[in-house]
Amino acid sequence: DTAVSQTPKYLVTQMGNDKSIKCEQNLGHDTMYWYKQDSKKFLKIMFSYNNKELIINETVPNRFSPKSPDKAHLNLHINSLELGDSAVYFCASSLFGYEQYFGPGTRLTVT
Amino acid sequence: EDQVTQSPEALRLQEGESSSLNCSYTVSGLRGLFWYRQDPGKGPEFLFTLYSAGEEKEKERLKATLTKKESFLHITAPKPEDSATYLCAVQSYGGSQGNLIFGKGTKLSVKP
């Protein structure tokens, strides 16, 4: 019973390409998030989203865009990939904004 | 600006050697302080939430405590399987949608 799942687990692509990462949660949570973990293992919020509002971290380039087809899914689209986008991306979800449960991560490598 | 500082960055213990990890925080109105465990190649795993100073929570060999400025994660008689990176995060009432601000973590290694 996977609570928060992400696909793919690994993603290798070239600079300039457009890619997507998918996230699904089966916890019945109302809010979903995307985090970026850099090479120094520092975890930083990128977006939070529920069915009412999208909150974007102001430091996130507009090449990144979350898309939510329904409450259980929050996908991350990245346009014109750059070398600096290489990182591990984690999806998470919570109910009423309390403790967050994380997915297994997607390791993105841009060459 | 909300901020979380964890110390030490790395901690090596012998099996059975108890110790504590520190998480100092600055936040404009604490809604909650969270502890997570992260194993290599995996996502953070939720451990505890603390809401107010004086609160304590326990799980197996782990005990988390909270004051107005810091939180401690006490590890009693650790085992090699406790080896992981432990992350502390805060959530403020001003934080939109419950966003967590994470520290950089403490990497714990427990040798048999």
Give residue B97's pLDDT band: very low, low, confident or very high (50, 70, 90).
low
Query: Mean pLDDT over all residues of chain B?
Result: 94
* % chain B with pLDDT above 90: 88
Exposed, middle or buried: residue A98 (CB in 10 Å: 0-12, 13-18, 19+)? middle
* Residue located via tokens 């909650």: B32
CA B20, B21, B23, B24: dihedral to nearest 10 degrees?
Answer: 60
Minimum distance, in Å, between the CA of residue B44 and any CA atom of chain A: 6
The residue ranking higher by pLDDT, A51 or A79, is: A79
Give the model's pLDDT for residue A56.
73
Task: Write the pLDDT tens digit of every residue in B46-71.
Answer: 999 999 999 999 999 999 999 999 99
Q: Which residue of B has its CA nearest to A38?
A: B104
Give the model's pLDDT for residue B49.
97
Question: CB of A33 within 8 Å of any CB in chain B?
Answer: yes
Question: CB of A44 within 8 Å of any CB in chain B?
Answer: yes
User: Is residue A28 over pLDDT 60?
Assistant: yes
Question: CB of A105 within 8 Å of any CB in chain B?
Answer: yes
Task: Write the pLDDT tens digit of every residue in A53-92.
Answer: 887 777 899 999 999 888 899 999 999 999 999 999 999 9
* Token couple for B3: 């901020």
Write out residues 11-30 of A within 8 Å (CB-CB) of B.
none
Question: CB of A101 within 8 Å of any CB in chain B?
Answer: yes
